[in-house]
Amino acid sequence: RDGMHVGVRSPRVTQRTLSGRSRAAAALSHQPPQQPELSVPSVPGLVAACTAAAAAAAAAASAASASARKPPTMMPGPAGKALGGTAGRQQPRHDVAFGMEEDDTEFMPKDSTPLLSGGAGGDAYVSVWASPGGDGGGMAGGGAPSDPRMPQSLESLDYEPYDNTVARADNASRTAWSKIKYNALKWGACFTLAVCTAAAAFLVNLSVENISGAKFGLTLSVMDKSGVLPSFLIYTLFNALLVLAAVSITVFVGPSAAGSGIPEVKAFLNGVDVPGIFFLNTLVAKVGGAIGSVAGGLAIGKEGPFVHAGAGIAAIISQGGPPGAEWPVFRRLWNDRDRSDMVACGAAAGVAAAFRSPVGGVLFVLEEMTSWWKEQLLWQMFFTTAVVSVTVRVLMNTCGNEGCGFFGSGGFIIFEIQEGQANYEFYELVPVLLLGVIGGLLGSSFITINAKLSEWRRRLWAQHGARGKVVEALVVSLLTSVVSFMLPLMVECQACPPDTAMCPRVDNSHSGNFVSFFCSSDTQYNDLATIFFNTQDDAIRNLFSSKTKQEYTIASLVTFVTCFYFLSVITYGIACPTGLFVPSILCGAAYGRLVGMFVADIQRHQHIDEGTYALLGAASFLGGSTRLTMSTCVMLLELTNNLALLPLTMLVLLVAKAVGDGTGVKPIYEVLMEMKGLMFLPPQPEGFMRHVSARECAGRPPQTLRQVERVSVLLGALRRCRHSAFPVVVVEGGGRT
């Protein structure tokens, strides 16, 4: 009847507007009926008619637009059939409201042509409300050239709920029981996410430790029997095969799995829908590639891949499964807002699984990833990370008595400092401040060099394609194997400390603090091999060890810092899943322990602990490269279980961040986002923006749309403009807007 609305709450019926570049909500309005009764078609009929018309318009726009960079996206029809698009593209599910309201007709153009027949009562017209979207190009005026680095397939997310009569009526119809089911669904999804992320992290750690243990054991066994050259060939070939597997699965199965994934997840949580980062094949490549690249001895970590993997698991769970196999029970979560909340929980779960740092994971997402926050999301993330920690511990307890091979059953603290330096003198603030300065400078130089190298790498990949990516990864693997194997051969062995029972590694097992590397006696060890010819986790434990003075020589630490810093710079960014945190901790711990040795030699005090300075050095490098303070501080304290170091850790992080910011170099993740063309709104605007108005940035008068618009006008706007967000204006009497 007059003023009657027909609403369909169907998240699966969605369209990225006419050329696949915009996601707009569509509604149907009609002219005032001349009779008191209005013949309204059935809801399935409205859905079918509207989707068919929109699909036809999309096909016309796609064929006519020369600037279209991708095929039209898949749009499920009312019967579940695709109306066109690319298979496998996981589409965000939005609510599409179809409404009929008499008041809409006053804005209808006189020359409008009806699209659908509304029955005896009148004809139906398309009414469009613009929603965030676009391929990242163009300015508001449309037609201005986009940033050439911006991938043309990027679109923005729509966090705002629809505000129309149908949406309000739908919300009003929700009962208390439906709200309870909705909340239970979200918390159940968080629990499932936590268990899956913990299981994936356990699988990665279990695989890395066992593969690495087998590699080192085989190398040392061949070394004892056949000498240096055969053992070197075995070691190099083992690493090359692992890296080849990692880069192959990344390049040919899930290209979006390359890198850490943190810039892409951060862009998503800031409103950019980056295509491909949450596909199932990307998740498989991320997990498999992380195992191969880390076990292959590359100077990378696995915290970045864990963050990306956790976010990917969250995105898949929120959609009810991979595309084509969605579980309808999660239909209520098929929207960008809930999906974003789940991805944030997944990122926090990844950090909690990587470092067994539940609170640090929550703070990492708060400080680095998200641009908005709410109390309910905080509780969901805290619950998720808590379940991750409990699940990881339960899984690790199953590995007691060598039940999981070389993988131990340790607790939460993976770099525990049991007897660190609790007291310090005022003069010790000088070396602590010095560590902060060193970390800020080294972190900034790391970002600068890696950015320049990434530009060269981009040109290399553009010229040689997948073959160039594979060859580059193998060259880096070969260089890493040569450095980590050959340099320890140039170092003389040292006598083991008399009070230790773990020197050297016994029966080639993967336990013990020291490594006997061509030493003439079982009571000797090679200090450089202890940190080079080892897993990164074990090397960090060795550097963090307390009450172990002069365990390393100055020459060995200087050699390690120089070479490992160089390897980290050239490795971060290859076509494999890579992380930054663990290499940063390892490099910072090495020069931190070096500074601690100098302080101990100068002061000759017994309370100077080199392991404490190693921790502060690790904090300084992390602060200088990531510029994160609060989350890094909490993660390091959870890792080491030493709250007494909180004041010094806070101080060194603040100094490192201040020095890094003072160099003018942006944090590593912001630099990577800019290089990848991922749109991101920085905390502070650029200085020149204070003196520039919007009209100076616009290439032409903005393209606007009326509330009720002809399809030809919409097609023309999409042909002329590279963006897909248009101001919707209200046309009053006399043509005023």
pLDDT tens digits for 237-261?
A: 999 999 999 999 999 999 999 999 9
The predicted-structure confidence for 288-332, as pLDDT tens digits, reads as follows 999 999 999 999 988 889 999 999 999 999 988 777 677 777 788
- 278 CB burial (10 A radius; 0-12, 13-18, 19+): buried
What total number of domains does the chain contain?
Answer: 3
The answer to whether 392 and 203 have CB atoms below 8 angstroms apart is no
For residues 333 and 479, state if they share a domain.
no
Q: Within a domain: residue 420?
A: no
Q: Within a domain: residue 312?
A: yes
Q: Within a domain: residue 105?
A: yes
| CA atoms of 343 and 14, how far apart (whole Å) | 21
Q: Kindly report which listed range (160-164, 297-301, 310-314, 619-623) carries the lowest average pLDDT score.
A: 160-164
**For position 467, which CATH number holds?**
1.10.3080.10
For residues 544 and 579, state if they share a domain.
yes
Q: Note down the domain range covering 728.
A: 25-154+704-735
The pLDDT value given to residue 671: 92
Q: Report the first-to-last Cα separation within the chain, whole angstroms.
A: 30
Dihedral through CA 202, CA 204, CA 210, CA 214, nearest 10?
A: 180
For residues 136 and 221, state if they share a domain.
no
Q: Within a domain: residue 421?
A: no
* DSSP category for residue 728: E
| CA atoms of 292 and 239, how far apart (whole Å) | 9
Q: In whole angstroms, what separates CA 572 from the centre of its chain?
A: 15
Strand 705-706 relative to strand 728-729, pairing: parallel
Question: Residue 229: which residues within 8 A CB-CB, separation 6 or more?
Answer: none
Q: Within a domain: residue 525?
A: no
- Sign, CA dihedral 556-560-561-566, equals positive
Q: Within a domain: residue 124?
A: yes
Question: Residue 223: which residues within 8 A CB-CB, separation 6 or more?
Answer: 230, 231, 518
* Percentages of the chain per state (helix, strand, coil), in multiples of 5: 55, 5, 40
The pLDDT value given to residue 225: 87
The predicted-structure confidence for 169-218, as pLDDT tens digits, reads as follows 888 888 888 889 888 999 999 999 999 999 999 999 899 989 998 999 89
For residues 644 and 718, state if they share a domain.
no
Which of 198, 193, 196, 201 has the alpha carbon at shortest distance from 381? 193
Q: Is the pLDDT of residue 586 over 90?
A: yes
Q: Within a domain: residue 718?
A: yes
Question: Residue 704: which residues within 8 A CB-CB, separation 6 or more?
Answer: 726, 727, 728, 729, 737
For residues 566 and 664, state if they share a domain.
yes
The pLDDT value given to residue 486: 93
The pLDDT value given to residue 35: 36
Which of 546, 725, 734 has the alpha carbon at shortest distance from 158? 725
Which of 299, 314, 306 has the alpha carbon at shortest distance from 344? 314
Cis peptide before 504 (omega within 30 of 0): yes
More confident residue, 698 or 475: 475
The predicted-structure confidence for 678-714, as pLDDT tens digits, reads as follows 887 777 777 888 888 877 877 677 888 888 889 999 8
Dihedral through CA 563, CA 649, CA 511, CA 495, nearest 10?
A: 70
For residues 398 and 433, state if they share a domain.
no
The answer to whether 352 and 373 have CB atoms below 8 angstroms apart is no
Q: Is the pLDDT of residue 285 over 60?
A: yes
The predicted-structure confidence for 120-145, as pLDDT tens digits, reads as follows 333 333 333 333 333 333 333 333 33
For residues 363 and 478, state if they share a domain.
no
pLDDT-derived band at 149 (thresholds 50, 70, 90) equals: very low
The answer to whether 491 and 527 have CB atoms below 8 angstroms apart is yes
Helix (H, G, I), strand (E, B) or coil at 665: coil
The pLDDT value given to residue 696: 81
Q: In Å, what is the CA distance from 434 to each residue of 550, 621, 626?
A: 21, 12, 18
Helix (H, G, I), strand (E, B) or coil at 117: strand
Q: Is the pLDDT of residue 529 over 60?
A: yes
| CA atoms of 200 and 352, how far apart (whole Å) | 12
For residues 47 and 188, state if they share a domain.
no
For residues 184 and 88, state if they share a domain.
no
Q: Within a domain: residue 652?
A: yes
Q: Is the pLDDT of residue 569 over 90?
A: yes
For residues 598 and 656, state if they share a domain.
yes
Residue where one domain finishes, among candidates 656, 675, 694: 675
| CA atoms of 401 and 405, how far apart (whole Å) | 9
Q: Kindly report which listed range (41-50, 90-99, 548-557) carries the lowest average pLDDT score.
A: 90-99
For residues 248 and 144, state if they share a domain.
no
For residues 135 and 234, state if they share a domain.
no
The 3-class secondary structure across 324-373, one letter per residue, is CCCCHHHHHHCCHHHHHHHHHHHHHHHHHHHHCCHHHHHHHHHHHHCCCC
Q: Kindly report which listed range (111-115, 657-661, 686-690, 695-699) carries the lowest average pLDDT score.
A: 111-115
